[in-house]
Amino acid sequence: MRIFETDLLCMGAGLAGERVAVEAAEAGFNVICLSLVPPKRSHSSAAMGGMQAALGNSAMSQGDSPDVHFTDTVKGSDWGCDQEVARLFADTAPIAMREMAHMGVPWSRVVPGVHTYYKGGKPFEAEELAEKDGLIHSRAFGGTAKWRTCYTSDGTGHSVLFTLDNKLLQLGVDVHDRMQAEMLIHDGENCTGAVCRCLRTGELVIYRARVTLIATGGYGRIYSATTNALICDGGGQITALETGCVPLGNMEAVQFHPTGSVPTDILLTEGCRGDGGTLLDVNEYRFMPDYEPEKAELASRDVVARRMTEHMRKGLGVKSPYGDHLWLDIRHLGEKHITTNLREVYDISTKFLGVNPVHQLVPVRPTHHYSMGGVRINKDGAAYGLRGLFSAGEAACWDMHGFNRLGGNSLAETVVAGRIIGKKVVEYLQGTDSIFHTVHAKDAVKQVQERISAIANARNGKENCYELRSILHQTMMENVGIFRNGKDLQSGVDTLQELLARSENIGLQGHNKGFTPELSLALRMRGMIKLGICTAYGALMRTESRGAHAREDYPERNDEKWLNRTLATWKEGDSLPTLSYEEATPWYEIPPGERGYGGGKTIAADIPEDKIRPFGA
């Protein structure tokens, strides 16, 4: 059995993992990055629209500042975020974007007099506002007071990921692709690496590490209709949950993106609406201003997704063999704009949907997109429960997003949090000695081997992992979707508990007992069901509506009772996670109030004076 030793083990080689790796490698530490796929195929490459940072370079971002960005982020989170982290993020984002430019990201730049600005689908003049030639440009995104989303056409994730991947090559970072982490190595107090499985050979490999970072992305594949890639199965969160001592935070906070394409569910960037695109119903009527007169299509994502669903419930959706949908209209932006600034949208529409967005409407509907919840970490990126374990990016609950993240904030989070957490990892490595006890690695290997053997030899039964996944998908879509209620959530929890019991008896349907994709899914299945239960059970217990968590039976945001964060820990042998709660934020620069969009009522809470800090202090 191969054994590797390193200072930092990054589980995941997307933007967050690679940005942390850069910090550690530049400080002189050995780094190994693991990836299910070649790193340039990480799901970060699919991110399109851009990264939010208050640079104030474009005509429509004059007067922007980290204070305004912080305010937008807190309101977007529906006061569910950690305001200390949101402040850290907003203040650091402009620095991080300029650093990425220095590393080589080809940001779209300001060219005075060339850009056309749209609002409500109509062009307007902005020449009276000075633009600064050659600086990083920005576009509008939902829920923001200013245009601050830095972009590279609509291929931002691709551009930044390729830049960081090249940086890792320059720094000599080892990348082990086609490698799946199966279990963390730990003694209940300290994490000292992971047991992984080679997806080429099926061989188990031990990685001993002074610091282990979970940066494996989201867990969207517990839903059937999702913009997430096939690799976004929650593998990192599963390894943390199965320790029994590392909690997952706010798992009920799940975001549906307004513009998933129909029928593929491939994302069509918010940049479409930011650049002036509109949403139309079956009558080709623009309906969003009726619901949200101020923000229209550029209210926050949770609000737009709900309004679209409400509109379709009224019978105003477009009927199709794939269910009801609405239309995205970007025709008025013109061929040049669509084939340059929205070129990936053009390619996706023409090649996957058979629709030319220059001349035709594009079918869209809300689709699962993002996980605000994840491995609970503190502001330094250190996971609760185990020393030496860190997390970053969508895999983590940092928690700057609260119960709804703004478009552009998550992609920015990867490099901003990666920068901040990377520096804290370096501090940890510089100040901490590690001792590797072979007994813990051997025990972890034994557990993984026994699990593989039981599945491969059908020792416990012949449950089909693909059938179980189909039931998981159906349950999550029907019971834990955009709108939720107690009856459906309870039904979902009950179904998932039954599914968890059945997962004990998974056996391979194929005859190959070596590496197969079926074995990979079979090993993940039990953990994916647990993630579904954490999501559904957390949503059932949270009797309020906040951000993307919308309870039809509890429509008010209840700050008096629920101004907190859910922590889910799973003890071995339990059929449900143990839920506990912590304060949403240690202090408030912005006490809870109205978001300014989305409607809804609030049950107010009295915030103690010692919890309130001067704004911007």
User: What does the alpha-carbon distance between residue 41 and residue 162 come to, in Å, rounded to a whole number?
Assistant: 10
Q: Is 43:67 a contact under the CB 8 Å cutoff?
A: no
Nearest to 271 by CA among 118, 72, 402: 118
- Tally helices (H) and strands (E) across the chain: 16, 25
Q: Which two tokens stand for residue 73?
A: 């982020």
Quote the CA–CA distance of 281 and 295 in Å, as a whole number: 18
| Nearby residues of 389 by Cβ (< 8 Å), 6 or more positions away | 184, 186, 191, 211, 212, 214, 240, 246, 382, 383
**Whether the Cβ atoms of residue 452 and residue 519 lie closer than 8 Å to each other:** yes
E strand or H helix at 10: strand 2-11
**Residue 104 vs residues 101, 152, 167, 211, 248: alpha-carbon distances, Å:** 5, 12, 9, 28, 35
Say if CB 157 and CB 96 are below 8 A apart. Answer: no
Q: Considering just the CA atoms, what is the radius of gyration of the chain in Å?
A: 23
Task: State the SS3 of 108-164.
Answer: CECCCCCCCEEECCEEECCCCCCCCCCCECEECCCCCCCCCEECCCCCHHHHHHHHH
Rounded CA-CA distance 310/365 in Å is 12
Which of 19, 43, 257, 401 is an active site residue?
Answer: 257
Structure tokens at 106: 């080809």
Q: Is 542 tagged catalytic?
A: no
Upstream peptide bond of 263 is cis (omega within 30 degrees of 0): yes
Burial of 301 (0-12, 13-18, 19+ CB in 10 A): buried
3-state secondary structure of 191: strand
Would residue 273 show up in a list of annotated catalytic residues for this protein? Answer: yes
- C-alpha span between 282 and 268 (Å, rounded): 19
Which member of 273, 311, 469, 551 is catalytic?
A: 273
Positions marked catalytic:
257, 273
